[in-house]
Amino acid sequence: MTENPLAHRLDYTLAELGDGALAASPIALFQRWLADAADLPEPNAMVVSTVDATGAPTSRTVLLRGIDDDGALWFFTNRESRKGRALAGNPAVSVLFPWYALQRQVIVLGTATPLPAERDDAYFASRPRGSQLSAWASHQSETVASRAALEEQMASVEERFPEGSPVPRPPHWGGYRIEPREIEFWQGRPSRLHDRITFTRDGDRWAAVRRQP
C-alpha cells in the first residue's frame, strides 16, 4: 500500500549544530555546508522570495552562481521577469537553501542590487549556447499561447544567431548581488528539537544567537 505522503514522518538524526557554532564565521560555515551538499542534485539551488509593488509575495528556485568574500550571493535572471520587476521596486529578499537529504536548511535575509554590466557579460559568455539563445527567446513570466509558440520563438532566435556566431547578452538579462543581513542555519534533530543558530550583521561584525525550534 502506498504511504499517505501527508502522514510521512522522519526523525532527523544525521548531525547536530553545537554551541561552538555561535563563535563561527557564518560565511565559512555556509561555504562548508555548501561543500557538504556537493553530491546532492542541484546543490546550489536556492529559493528566492520577493514582494512586488502590490504587496504580493512570490517564490521561485534559481541557482547560486557566486559568493563574495563578505558572503554576498549572486544569481542571474531576466530583469524584466516577475522577480526582476519586484526587485526594481523592493530589493528586500529572502533566500532558502533546502538541503533536505542532509536534514539542513539555510535562510538568508538581505538586499539585492544589480551586478555591474561587466560581471553580467562575463557570466553570460560562460553559459552553454542553448542557454544563451533561450535568454533571448523567452519573455520570462509573460504568457504564451502554446509550447509550439515558445519553440517558434526559439527557432527565430536560432536564425538570428546561426551556429558559429557569437550570442551577445540581452540588455534585459543580468545578475543580482544579495548582501546578507541575517543568516540562519537549521539542522534537523530527533523529536523535532532542532538546532537553529542565527547570525545578524552589524556593520562588519556578526552576532549569533541560538533560537528555539
Q: In whole angstroms, what is the distance from residue 206 CA to residue 199 CA? A: 6
Q: In whole angstroms, what is the distance from residue 13 CA to residue 31 CA? A: 22
Closest CA to 170 of 79, 35, 69, 55: 79
Q: In whole angstroms, what is the distance from residue 138 CA to residue 144 CA? A: 10
Q: Is 198 helix (H, G, I), strand (E, B) or coil?
A: strand
* Type of residue numbered 120: D
For residue 82, indicate whether it is catalytic: no
* Type of residue numbered 155: A
Which residues are registered as beta bridge partners of 46?
A: 62
Q: In whole angstroms, what is the distance from residue 195 CA to residue 24 CA? A: 15
Q: To 5 degrees, how large is the angle CA 133–CA 135–CA 137? A: 70
Q: In whole angstroms, what is the distance from residue 14 CA to residue 29 CA? A: 17
Q: To 5 degrees, how large is the angle CA 195–CA 197–CA 200? A: 165
Grid coordinates given for 119: 560581471
User: Out of 147, 192, 196, 201, which one is annotated catalytic?
Assistant: 192
**Annotated active-site positions, please?**
192
